[in-house]
Amino acid sequence: MTPPPALSVSDIRMSYGDLRAVDGVSFEVAEGEFFGILGPNGAGKTTTLEIAEGLREPDSGTVRLLGEPPWPRNVALLPRIGVQLQASAFFEKLSTREQLETFASLYGVGPARVDEMLELVGLTGKASTPEAKLSGGQRQRLSIACALVHDPDIVFLDEPTAALDPQARRNLWDVLREVQARGKTIVYTTHYLDEAEVLCDRVAIMDHGRILAMDTPARLVRDLDAAARVSLDRGSLPAERARGLPGADAVTEDDTTLTISTRNPAPLLSALAELGTLEGLQVRTATLEDVFLDLTGREYRA
Binding site for ligand ATP (CB under 6 A): 16, 19, 21, 39, 41-47, 191
* CA dist list (Å): 99 to 129, 164, 250: 11, 21, 58
Least Cβ distance, residue 50 to ligand ATP (angstroms): 8
Nearest alpha carbon to residue 248 among 263, 270, 231 = 263
Sheet holding 185-190, edge to edge: 81-83, 154-158, 185-190, 34-38, 202-207, 210-215
Query: CB 25 → ligand ATP: shortest distance, Å?
Result: 11
Residue 157 CB, nearest distance to ligand ATP (Å)?
13
Cβ proximity to ligand ATP, 88 vs 256, nearer residue: 88
Centroid of chain to Cα 282: 26
Strands of the chain, DSSP E? 7-16, 19-29, 34-38, 60-65, 81-83, 154-158, 185-190, 202-207, 210-215, 228-233, 250-253, 257-262, 282-284
Cβ nearer to ligand ATP, comparing 83 with 237: 83
Q: 42 or 265, CB closer to ligand ATP?
A: 42
In the bound complex, what is the minimum distance in angstroms from residue 86's beta carbon to ligand ATP? Answer: 11
Report the alpha-carbon distance of residue 71 to residue 66 in Å, rounded: 13
d(CA 237, CA 214): 41
Spell out the residues 6+ positions from residue 285 whose beta carbon is closer than 8 angstroms to its own.
Answer: 221, 226, 228
Separation between Cα atoms, residue 221 and residue 241, nearest integer Å = 30
Minimum gap (Å) between residue 41 Cβ and ligand ATP: 4
CA dist list (Å): 131 to 97, 123, 252: 9, 11, 52
Shortest Cβ distance from residue 81 to ligand ATP (Å)? 19
Identify residue 118 by its one-letter amino acid code: L
Minimal distance in Å, beta carbon 210 to ligand ATP?
12
